[in-house]
Chain A
Amino acid sequence: MNNKDFTSASFQEYLKQKKLMGVRCQSCGTLFLPPRPMCNHCFGEDLIWEELSGEGELTAFTTIHIAPTAMIEAGYGRDNPYCSGIVKLKDGVSISAQILGVDVDHPENIKIGCKLEVEFLERQVGDDNQAFLAFQTVD
């Protein structure tokens, strides 16, 4: 299927192709997201990329009003908060991502356990066009 290194650089390349890719250990079957070059369960290095379902649910979240520099440059901040959260995918692994489609002005109404699907964002960072992982609510 491919022979990319199991690194964040490869993961980023896949995001640009709108693919959420994990890595599976062929020795013990453990699935990893994000990718890593060695299985930390059996120490095996016989790994393979695997495209994930992109479906999951919210396990924790926050709406951020005091933003880091990168998010301020993306237009967020005190007057325009955003939601970040942790998503547990159907595939069994979890990841941090920006959460879209929720009511950031009423965080008390955002529901842990709500269904989400993957979304790929692109943002200009300096001279670079970078891809970012996000999840969108499904109704």
Chain B
Amino acid sequence: MKKKLGRGVAIVGAGMSNFGAFPGKATRDLFVEAFSDMIASVDKGLDPNDIEALYIGNYSSDLFEGQGHTAPFMADWTGLTPRPATRIEDACASSGVALRQGIIAIASGLYDVVLVGGIEKMTDLPTSEVTDTLATASDVLYEIPAGFTFPGFYAAMATAYMDRYGATPESFMRVGLKNHENGALNEKAQYGATIRQVMDSKIAKAKAKGRPEPTWADEMEFMHDDRANPIIAWPMRLFDCSPISDGAAALLLVSEDIAKSFSADPLFVIGTGQASDVALHDRQDLTTLRAAKLAGEQAYEMAGLKPEDIKAAEVHDCFTIAEVIATEDLGFFPPGKGYEAAEEGLTRRNGPKPINTSGGLKSKGHPVGASGAGQVVEIWKQAHGSAGERQAAHDVNLGLTHNVGGTGQTCAVHIFERR
């Protein structure tokens, strides 16, 4: 039976902190920045006292900053106690799932105005401990003893994908190039620089220090340089991997009937889907994420849309291979054709199917629990024509977000419409 929401839900405000490394700032401080940015986006104004409940996506403040029970602190720092504040944890899909819980809460009729947030503070720990903390989102009994890391899991998917479809490590590098081109135009991005700009700054640095200047012929030669772009887990190199990030995002959700009193142009939630899956080694097919396909199918069915109707999408490019697989799982391109579509430029912001105009997790940053809500901030901007220089070439009245947890054991997909 076709699933539908009990009543309509719209997003009437969307904001985020800068994504990056912010020593001395805790998640609550970053969340206040996102909250203020969100309020500024509500064009008819918001009285924060109208907010009735908070749903906060957060993967692991416990391990990253030694702070459990984080949701009430977000309520306190935004002046929203004693309203109910609930933390949602589904690894890197935490705030995509928090969004879905906020939608369900309004659709149920219980609340009219809900704040959905995403928060993560990762940079206090050294890299090896960040790697360990992220690894707890996989199977600690059977996958971690095999030596796997998160880059390792996606790298393994990449080898299966290359073996089946003939893609090469260069196919994935081109996804990274494209996302850095977009991210260079995003003032909130952690690594907001094109690969060319990264190369130029490394050359300038070498010159200033009197060291021999690197002589890369072009971006692809840079991408193949083991020193400039070291292997993390073959075939994934540094510029195939999203960074370690701090950041927060905030979304204001209201019931459809009151949406116009907050915003002249609400972003209506017309599709939501979510699914789970088994550990990576238990899957029949390592070149697709079944949870993403199912979540996408649920969202399309609810929205009454097909993949070709979507004007722009923010997909979960925690690693470049993940973006390729996402564009296939969501039906934008046939299985095995996503890498060719990326190589042909179909996913650039002036192409027919702009993917990750924000720069994606790769360039914008990946504060894991904030990423799902952060994706919606970009669709909000694209839908309102307020994405500045990175605005897609065509009108984005229909946008999609695809937020993955772990190796694809969770996925949440949402579809939004500006009417």
| A interface footprint on B134-162 (CB within 8 Å = 1, 0 otherwise) | 01000101111111110111011111100
Say yes or no: A84 contacts B281, CB within 8 Å. no
**Does B303 interact with chain A (Cβ within 8 Å)?**
no
A136 at the interface (CB under 8 A from B): no
Interface status of B198 (Cβ within 8 A of chain A): no
Please report the C-alpha to C-alpha distance between residue A86 and residue B146 in the assembled complex, in whole angstroms: 9
Q: Are A62 and B152 neighbours in the complex by a CB distance under 8 Å?
A: yes
Residues 14-73 of A at the B interface (beta carbon under 8 Å): 34, 59-72
In the bound complex, CA of A49 to CA of B159 (Å) = 33
| Contact A67 to B147, CB < 8 A, known contacts A8-B141, A62-B155, A86-B281 | yes
Cα separation A78 to B281 with both chains bound (whole Å): 25
B interface, size bucket: 35 or more
State which of B127, B159, B286 has its C-beta within 8 Å of the C-beta of A66.
B127
Q: How far is the CB of A27 from chain B (nearest CB, A)?
A: 20
In the assembled complex, how far is the CB of residue B49 from the closest CB belonging to chain A, in whole angstroms? Answer: 46
The reply to whether the CB of B131 lies closer than 8 angstroms to some CB of chain A is yes
B152 contacts across to A, CB distance below 8 A? 62, 64, 84
Given contacts A86-B280, A112-B163, contact A133 B146 (CB under 8 A): yes
Residue of A69, A107, A133 near B129 (CB, 8 A) is A69
Q: Once the chains bind, are A69 and B128 in contact (CB under 8 Å)?
A: yes
With A and B bound together, what is the CA distance between A63 and B155 in angstroms?
A: 8
A59 adjacent to B286 (CB under 8 Å): yes
B234: interface (CB < 8 Å) = yes
Which A residues are CB-close (under 8 A) to B127? Answer: 66
> Which residues of chain B come closer than 8 Å to A133, judged between CB atoms?
145-146
> Does B225 reach chain A (CB closer than 8 Å)?
no
Residue-wise interface mask of A (98-139) relative to B, using a CB-CB cutoff of 8 A (1 in contact, 0 not): 100000000100101100000000000000001011000000
List A residues at the B interface (Cβ < 8 Å). 8, 34, 59-72, 76, 78, 81-82, 84-86, 94-98, 107, 110, 112-113, 130, 132-133
